[in-house]
Structure 1
C-alpha cells in the first residue's frame, strides 16, 4: 500500500496487523518448504501412523491415508494463502472481508483457542524431552524426584523451562522465527534419517510390523476410513485458516505455492513411513513396539547418542510449536484489541493460556486425542476455511480494498462491524459438521449415538462437510442479499480504494 496515512489513526490497525510492504518480504521457496519440514517433524505427527495402526489398519493403509489427507488439506491452504501474499495481510485482517471488521474476531478467537491448546500440548511434550535428557545427566535423583500432583517436580520444571525457551524465541519477532526454521529443518531431517539407520543396524532389519496386515477389512475398514481421514486432515486444519500469517512475508505467489507443495504432503508422508520403520525395528530391539521417539531415544545405549536424539526432538518441537501454534494466536489476540495488544503481547497471552488449559490432560488418552479432539477441532474449523476461500475466490474474485479492512466506513463494516451472513454460515455449517460428534464405544465426552443423532453420519466427514457447507451457504447468502463487494466507477474520490502493490506472480 503506497499511502499508509489512512491506517495511522485507525483503532483497528497496528504495526503487526498492517500490510507488509514488498521490500520487507523476504520469504522464498526454501523458506516455505523449510517451514513445513520443521512443522511436520514433530512428536504428534510421528504418532499419527501409530494411532491408525493401533485402530486396526495396516501400515500401508495408514501411510496412504496420511498422504491423501495432506494433499486434500493443501488445497485450502494454498487458496487461503494467496490473499496473504497479494496484499501482505495476516489471517485476522483477511477474515475482516468476510466476517466484518469486528466480526473477524469470531473466527480469529476460535482459531486462537485451538492453537493455544495445541501450543500447550506441544510444550508439555518438549518438556518431557528436557526431563528425560536431564535424567540421563543427573540420574535417578532427577527422574524419581518427589511428586507435585501426578508428576515429579522436575518434570514440571522441565515443562516451564521449555515454555520459557519458546517465549524467548517468539518475542524477538517473525524474522527470528524464519532464521530458526531455516536451520532447524535440515537438522531435524538428518537426525531422523540417522535414527532410522541406527535402529536398522541394531535390529538387523526393520522387524515384523511391515509384514503384518491390518485387522480392519471390507465395510469395517471403510467405516473407520472417514473419521481417520478427517482426523489426519484436522491435524493441519488450523493452518488452512491462518496460512496468510506466513504468506504475507512472501513476494511471489509461485514461490510460496511451490514451497508449500514441496514441503507439506511429501514431508508428512515420509515422516509417517519413517515412524513405522523405526517403531517396527524397536519391537525387534526391545521386545515391544515403542512409538514415542522420546521414550525410544531414552533407551539408546550411547549416552552421546541419547543426548543428540533428545536435543533433536526438542528442536523439532520448538520448530512446529512456535510456527504452527504461537504465531497465529499472537495475531488473533492482537486483532481483538489492536491499540493495546501487539504481536509480542499476543504471544505472551497465548503462553499463559496454554498452561491454564492443562495440556497434560489432553494427551492422557490417545483415542480421545486423535478421534475426538482432532476430529471435532477440524469439524469446527472447516466452515471458517470454506468461508474464507469462498469470499476471496468466488465473491470478491481476489479483489480486496485494503484500506476498508481497517476502518468503520467501507465495504467491510456491514452491520455494526459484523457480517451476519458469515456468522450464520459458520454457525449452520458447524452444527452440520460437529453436531453429530460421537464417542466410539462410549469412550470419550460425547454420547455414543451422537450429540444430535440424525447428524451422526456427517460427523465422520466433519471437516469436509463444514468446509463445503460453509462455503455454499455463505456464497448463497451474499448473492441473495446482493451485498456490494467493490466500488463502481461512479464512486466518489473519497470512496475509491487506495493504490496497493499487489503480488500476482
Structure 2
C-alpha cells in the first residue's frame, strides 16, 4: 500500500493534510456547523428561556457564539495554515510528550466519556419521543445510535463532511419549521416575544455564560476540521462562521419551541423532545434528534481518536472502534453519570490549552524564542514545555474558582497572559523551559 493511500485511510491523523486533499470554505463551514447542531445546543436554548424572555435569549445566543467564533478562528487559523490536527499543534506548544498528555485528555473526555454520555442521553430522548416502540427502547436506541456515530468517525473527515452536507440543511429546515410551529402554536410573533419565563431570572451575562459553556470545548479543537481548509484565513473564517450560525440558529429554535410548548422539565432541563411533539412536529422531531445528535457525537469520537493517535502507534480506525465500544459500553451499563464530575474536572483544563496555544504561536515562539512552527519528518520538538504546562494548570485552577465572568473565557485569557509572562521571564533569566528534544520519525512519531 502506498504512503499516500495509507495516509488517506488514516485521515492524515498524524501528518499534514496535502494541498490536493484540502476542501473549499463552504465544506469546512458546513462541517463545523454540524459540530454545534446538537441536542445539548437545543437544550441550551430551552435553559435560557427558563429565566429570560425570547429577545434576551437571542442576544445571549448571538454574543455567546460570537465569543466562541473568535476563539475558534484563531485555533482554526493554525490548523488550516499547517494542515494538522489540534493534538499535532500541541507538539509545538507543549512539547512532544506534553502533546501526549493532551491527546490522552481528549481521548478520555471526548472520545470515551462524553461520547458515552451523549449515547445514553440519545437513548433516553428517543425513548421519550416514541414510548413503547421497540426501536426506541433506551438500550436498543443506544446501540443503533452509537453505531451510526462510530461509522462516520471511522470514515474520518470525509464521513463527517458528507453527513454534514445532508444533516445541516435538513436540521435547518426542520428547525425553521419548528420555529414556525412554535409561533403558530402561540398565535403570533407578539405572543412569542411576550411570553414570560417561568424559572429564576437570568441576566444577559448569565445567559452568555451558559451558551459559551455549552460549546467552548468544540471551539478549542477547531483545527481538527480546519486542517482541511485551503488557506489559513479561509479555514479559520469558514469554520468560525459555520459554528456561529449553527449555534445561534439551534439555540433560538430550542428557545422558541420551549416557550411555545411550556412543557415540564426533566429535572432542571427543559424537555425539548416533548416540546417538539406538543407543537406538532411528530416524526420530524425524530429526524431532528437523530441528525442533531449524530453530527455532534461522531465529532466527539473523531477528536478523541485523533488525540489518542498522537500517543499510540495504532491505526486511527482501530482507535475509533476501541474508543467507540468503550463509550457505548459505559452507556449500556448505565454508569455514564458517574463519570460526569471526573469529565468536568478534566474539562477545566481544556479551555486554557487554547490560550496557551494561541500565545505560543503568535507571541512566544516568534517574538520571545525566535522560532517558527514546522511539522513533518525530521522536525525537532521539545520533549516538554514546562512553562506551557504550568500556565495551563494554573489557569485552569484560577479560572474555575473565579466568581465572576465566563469560566472558559477566564481560563483562556489567564492561560494566554500567564504563559507569555512566564516564557518572557524565564528567557530573560536564561532558564530553559523547553526541555529535551525529539525528532519526528517517518511514521509520524
Q: Unaligned regions of 5+ residues in structure 2, if any? A: none
Equivalent position to 2:52, from 50, 57, 62: 57
Instruction: Check the 8 A contact 1:330/1:345 in 2, yes or no.
Output: no
Query: What secondary structure does 2:403 align onto?
Result: helix
Q: Unaligned regions of 5+ residues in structure 1, if any? A: 144-151, 437-455, 487-494, 499-505
Q: Could you tell me which residue of structure 1 aligns to residue 219 of structure 2?
A: 240
Equivalent position to 2:351, from 355, 359, 382: 382
Instruction: Check the 8 A contact 2:171/2:288 in 1, yes or no.
Output: yes
Q: Could you tell me which residue of structure 2 aligns to residue 423 of structure 1?
A: 389
Pair 1:164-2:143 in alignment: no
Query: In structure 2, what is the Cα distance between the partners aligned to 1:332 and 1:132?
Result: 34
Q: Decide whether aligned partners of structure 1 residues 308 and 373 sit closer, same or farther in structure 2, where only a CA change above 3 A counts.
A: farther
Q: Could you tell me which residue of structure 2 aligns to residue 87 of structure 1?
A: 82
Q: Could you tell me which residue of structure 2 aligns to residue 263 of structure 1?
A: 242
Taking the TM superposition and a 5 Å limit, the aligned residue runs for 1:22-41 are 22-25=19-22, 27-41=23-37
Q: Deviations over 1:104-143 (max 9, x none)?
A: 12223223333133322332233345445664xxxx4749
Instruction: State TM-score, norm by structure 2.
Output: 0.81
Q: Deviations over 1:211-240 (max 9, x none)?
A: 1456899xx866x835x4333212222123
Q: CA offset at residue 475 of structure 1?
A: 1.7
Q: Could you tell me which residue of structure 2 aligns to residue 194 of structure 1?
A: 177
Query: In structure 1, what is the Cα distance between the partners aligned to 2:37 and 2:388?
Result: 35
Pair 1:230-2:209 in alignment: yes
Instruction: State TM-score, norm by structure 1.
Output: 0.72
Q: Deviations over 1:137-173 (max 9, x none)?
A: xxx4749xxxxxxxx9x31121112111222222223
Q: Could you tell me which residue of structure 2 aligns to residue 124 of structure 1?
A: 120
Query: In structure 2, what is the Cα distance between the partners aligned to 1:14 and 1:48?
Result: 32
- Structure of higher CA gyration radius: 1
Q: Could you tell me which residue of structure 2 aligns to residue 354 of structure 1?
A: 327
Instruction: Check the 8 A contact 1:230/1:378 in 2, yes or no.
Output: no
Instruction: Check the 8 A contact 1:117/1:354 in 2, yes or no.
Output: yes
Query: In structure 2, what is the Cα distance between the partners aligned to 1:326 and 1:349?
Result: 10
Q: Could you tell me which residue of structure 1 aligns to residue 92 of structure 2?
A: 97
Pair 1:17-2:14 in alignment: yes
Query: In structure 2, what is the Cα distance between the partners aligned to 1:374 and 1:102?
Result: 22
Q: Root-mean-square deviation (CA), in Å?
A: 3.8
Q: Could you tell me which residue of structure 1 aligns to residue 194 of structure 2?
A: 211
Instruction: Check the 8 A contact 1:206/1:280 in 2, yes or no.
Output: no
Q: Decide whether aligned partners of structure 1 residues 377 and 44 sit closer, same or farther in structure 2, where only a CA change above 3 A counts.
A: farther
Instruction: Check the 8 A contact 1:282/1:288 in 2, yes or no.
Output: no
Equivalent position to 1:292, from 257, 267, 271: 271
Name whichever structure is richer in helix by fraction: 2
Query: In structure 1, what is the Cα distance between the partners aligned to 2:375 and 2:16?
Result: 8
Q: CA offset at residue 193 of structure 1?
A: 1.5
Query: In structure 2, what is the Cα distance between the partners aligned to 1:43 and 1:141?
Result: 21
Q: CA offset at residue 465 of structure 1?
A: 2.3
Q: CA offset at residue 52 of structure 1?
A: 2.8
